[in-house]
Each structure stands twice: as structure tokens, then as C-alpha cells.
Chain A
Amino acid sequence: GDQVEQSPSALSLHEGTGSALRCNFTTTMRAVQWFRKNSRGSLINLFYLASGTKENGRLKSAFDSKERYSTLHIRDAQLEDSGTYFCAAENMGYKLTFGTGTSLLVDP
């Protein structure tokens, strides 16, 4: 079946620095979403992309369906960015498959 490989599983950043999360897909996906897990365990939308890139504040996401990957870039990381981030990709049959998550810790 479809697989979504998310990396890294854990990431530690100093405040003010940046990095990227990545999701690789084993099949062609029609769209990707990035979420952040809130304190209750539910998912907050960060980005939805059917192609190209989107930017929102210090976050930027890209999706390349042909190359089968998506990235989430965080720049100028702040303490409040700490949390768990998930990508989820929808295949051509409209099934959404989640990555295993990235636990981000931003320290002073």
C-alpha cells in the first residue's frame, strides 16, 4: 500500500535557527497536507498543497508530485514552535495516509 516516510523523527533546534522536515511517498500523490498536533492531540492545518510551494510566516512548504516528496521548512524557530508535526498525503484514490510525525524541540 501507500507509504509516507517522514523524517527526521525527532529534531532539536536552537531558537532562531531553521531546518526542514521531509516526507517521501512511495506512489504518486495528488495532494499533501502538513499538520501540527495540538495539546489535546488533534491536528491543526498548516498547509494544503496540490502542487508548488506555500509560505506562511516562518513556515514554508513545497510539494513535488512527480518526484514524490514534500518538505516543511521552519526558519527563525521560536520556543512555541516545539511540538509534533505530521505530513499526510492523498493518493489518486482519495485515501489520506499519514507520516509517522516529527517531534520538534526548540530550545533557548
Chain B
Amino acid sequence: EPEVTQTPSHQVTQMGQEVILRCVPISNHLYFYWYRQILGQKVEFLVSFYNNEISEKSEIFDDQFSVERPDGSNFTLKIRSTKLEDSAMYFCASVRGSTSYEQYFGPGTRLTVT
């Protein structure tokens, strides 16, 4: 069964460093999302992406964040200068679109900023 994959599973970085979180969405999906979840808390929407453009972004997704689909398979989230409060689980998700609404999540990347 097709699945969303994410790498790395755990990333430790120092405050102020740049990190890139990588995702491979399901191959025939057209809509891509990044979420974050601080331990034990709610799932927070960061950004959605379609047709090589950001569709919508939350207030969390400030100038320190960017997304990119550099090729036909990868979808990346970059944090330019990490802060302690960026420590969280980051989930990528994808939706095929058209008449298919099901959203599938990846296993997540745990980001720890020290």
C-alpha cells in the first residue's frame, strides 16, 4: 500500500541552525501539507501546497519557514534559523484530490532544538 515517508525520523539541531525536513508524498497525490505537533498537544496546520505554490499558510508559518517541491517526488520544509520553540513532531501529509479527499500522514520527524 502506498504511504507517505519522511526523513529523518529524528533531527537534533542547535538553536539558530537551518534544518530541512524531507517528505515523499504518495505518488499520484496533488495536495501536500505540513503540520506540527508539540508533544501530547493538538495537530497544528503549517502550510498547504498545490501546483508548485503555497495554497494557504498559518500564522506560525513565518519568514523563517519555506517549502519546496524540488522534483517530482520530494516535498521539503525548511526552517532557516531554528528556535527552541520549534521543537516538535513535524508531519507531512498528502491528498490525491479531485473526488478523493482522504489525507494520509507520514510517520513524522521529531525535531529537537537545543
Chain B associates with chain A: no
- Which residues of A are in contact with B by a Cβ distance under 8 Å? none
- Which residues of B are in contact with A by a Cβ distance under 8 Å? none
